[in-house]
Structure 1
Amino acid sequence: MSFLTEGLYFRKISEFEDKTEGEFQHFGPLQEQILKIMNDSGMLGAPVPKVKAKSLTEELMNFDKGFNFIQSWHKSEIMSRKMWSEYSGIENNIDGAIIVISPFTMDILLRKNLLTSWEFKVVDYVNDKSRARNAFFTKHEDYRWEKEERICIDIKKLIFGNKNILPEMACLNSMRNYNFRGGNFPFVKDIFKYKDENGFIVDIPDLNKSVEGVLVPNNCSSDFESEINDILISKKYNIKVKRVNVDSLENINNIIQ
């Protein structure tokens, strides 16, 4: 329910359970060719061994993991029992909910409020992450059932908009309205809020006007349903909770109409 009360939570990709997140082919044929050209030209002084170059690119890849934060969505028009099970734990907790929003609407909200350093794309599924060309929008085939579309924010530009080195995410609180090179730094706004050591909240304006549905299991408790409806009213959402059969293959668009 934090989505409804606070906004979008972005988690550091290096803290994901899947430790291949953020990995890609950091030293492939292209990098080998570049290294050979640089070594042959003497540009680097003493030749750099391939093993050392590969180690350096791996360090850079792992460094980058600490600066990229993800917000994930399941992209499907059909109800998914597996998603309810994996991410709501419905077998042990009947009080769970899913948020419905159009990808088109989400893209508009992001473009209006996050002017740089973000991407919103469908994830590609691959057999070998170590051969993938993209670090943050590829996952192993084992996760294909997730049908994920994700938002990725690279916070490195936030560092350049701050007088302090970024020792932890808490310093986002000191970055509001920072003046950068004669203008407003386009990414630093009050919509960023520190959440914990692994992530932050982006409280996007007009989110309450954009959510199309909040769905809960048919057998959820009345107290839980009432609690969410109270939040929707207090936050001025123009919708009410709808109960659904999580085992159905019903089209979600038909449910929220």
Structure 2
Amino acid sequence: MLFSASIFIPEKPKFFNLTCSEKLSYLSIGTITVYGFAMLLIEHFFKYKFSEYFFYPTVVLLLVHIAGIFIRFTEFENLNGYFEGKISFEENSLTINEIEYRYSDLENLVIYGNSFSGERTKNYRYGPMYGNGVENLISFTYDGIKIEKYFQLNSERHLDELQEVLIHILTTEKLPYKREYLDFINDEHRSFLLFELLVGKLIREKRIECAEGIRLIGLNSKETEEFKAKYCSSLK
């Protein structure tokens, strides 16, 4: 077995299962908005002037909102689903819950693997600070049946292992080469030597152009000259 991960089954939309900090934030801000709007309407239509004591509840609600801000710094997103089964990449096949799918028979393959447990979310002002690494997806058609599974990467190292395995499978062509499969490798791992060697091999075999290889890896001007000398000079 080259790589394995737990399969994640999404169960309900995120908004219907809020975390503690999200509940505190939405409740406090929502209540302040409704409370303040109601006071303005009463003052405007009934010409009633509220005393300062009526504003004290908003202070309490602001404290609740601040508490939510502090809670979020150590908070993970809710899973909103459950784990069931395992997906693994073998040398010659993909295995899902002990059912093998040969790489050579996969059609319409899409792999997204760039999310890991403990990764910072994009919630910069409110909501949980860390994700659970369950936004990774593999989708393909096998014998006319579409199969789609989410899976968890439980650490940054786990993410590295997946990317290394994908590069290995592409390099050895256990998965028959298609240009779009190179997009399975994320930007960070395209700078790795393993990916450079794969791209260099494809250039020498004239399956991609030298310029495209340079663009895929994202080389600077100095690195570009070294890359051309190493992999592209023999093409002239």
TM-score range, shorter chain: under 0.3
Structure in which a larger fraction of residues adopt helix: 2
Instruction: Give the TM-score, by structure 2 length.
Output: 0.25
Whichever of the two has the greater Rg, that structure is 2
Which of structures 1 and 2 has the larger relative contact order (alpha carbons within 8 angstroms, sep 6+)? 1
